[in-house]
Structure 1
Amino acid sequence: MPDPIMKRDEDRGPAEARKLYSFRLVESKQDIPAVIELARCAHEESRLGYIPFSEAKTQKIAENAIKDPTRHAVMLALKAEQPVGLLFCSVGEYHIGEGILLATIHNINVLKEVRASLSGGRAALGLLSGAKQWANARNARELLLHATSDVELPRLHKLAKRAGFGLIGGSYARLL
């Protein structure tokens, strides 16, 4: 008989699963190593994993979010205080428009082993909810989610719909 105190993610109910995760903005350079490691994991499993990973560029993204949180955000999903998910977003004007702010999620990823658990979707939904709150606080009109990783796209589509996103187009790639 399993120990009732030591539950696996799969054995927890919805309320317990929600409590498994916490979410926060990256506000300190102390978080940068975790951001780099989560970004590296996301990059390695993406379709662009053949491109050499840049710790320096990833660090710059995190530093920009710390330095200018009005325009950039990096969010972490934590399970038992350990980083298991990452979201990077920014807000700005449409590239050929003015006067209206749009928020864009450039990257969202939850570690593969966490995604595989029954509560893994909660980590991603929590990150998306955090991005929505962040974008609302900056008076963005829309929150855009770009999916170019080619990782579990049907699952991402289902998750995005559940989080209130509508499909507005697609991303296409051609090797040269």
Structure 2
Amino acid sequence: MTTTETDTTHPRTISRLAVVSETYCRAGIHLAREAHLRTIFRDFRFSEFKARAIFDKAMVAPERVGLIYAVPGADEPLAEEGLCDFASVQMGEHFLGNGNLIATVHTLNISPKLTGTLLGGKVALRIVHAVRHWANTLGCAHVTMHVTNGKNAEDADQFFRRCGMVTIGGNYCWSP
């Protein structure tokens, strides 16, 4: 399944949902590796095998796992380092509840080239809207976002609150 939306504020940036392509997989892994180095878990060795498994799940069950990409433009070939942003989201039931579905964003990675820029904020906002659209289309009652970047948690909190999200808890970590 492929969904393409053009951003009217920056016409060269588009988002795509679950594109079946080795090129997108490689670009997603590249960006995930870069983003991993900026998280609190950067001392863990990055697993390309695990990253590829997420891509494979999305290809087998796109109604359960969504991969949402922001790319430079519809007509430009995608280079491995060409992604602007990438999100991985999974849909399922609450671990103790029945009936309602929840979409959980496991990662939202923005290109280091765009981090801290106005364009980066716009691209991240488009990805959040694309995640919300994906979740609504599948009938999810909630969308949850896990933030583990560790460096600018306050900025992430501000951004997600501006997107209309509310805090329902927090990520806490003890490092010996």
- Please report the TM-score for the alignment, with normalisation by the length of structure 1: 0.86
Q: How many residues align?
A: 162
Q: What residue is the counterpart of 1:19 in the other structure?
A: 11
Q: What residue is the counterpart of 1:76 in the other structure?
A: 69
Q: What residue is the counterpart of 2:137 in the other structure?
A: 137
Q: How many Å separate the matches in 1 of 2:169 and 2:32?
A: 25
Farther-moved stretch of structure 1 (112-121 vs 61-70):
112-121
Give % identity. 27
Q: What residue is the counterpart of 1:6 in the other structure?
A: none
- Please report the TM-score for the alignment, with normalisation by the length of structure 2: 0.86
Q: What residue is the counterpart of 1:86 in the other structure?
A: 86
User: 1:46-85 to 2 correspondence within 5 Å?
Assistant: 46-80=39-73, 81=76, 82-85=82-85
Q: What residue is the counterpart of 2:4 in the other structure?
A: none
Structure with the larger helix share: 1
- Give the 3-state SS of the residue equivalent to 1:48 in structure 2: coil
1:128 aligns with 2:121: no
1:157 aligns with 2:157: yes
Q: Is the 8 A contact 2:70 2:123 kept in 1?
A: yes
Q: How many Å separate the matches in 2 of 1:16 and 1:144?
A: 27
Task: Report deviation, 1:79.
Answer: 2.1
Select the structure of larger CA radius of gyration.
1
Give the superposed CA RMSD.
1.5
Question: 2:50 is matched by which residue type in structure 1?
Answer: K
Residue ranges of structure 2 left out of the alignment (5+ in a row): 1-6, 77-81
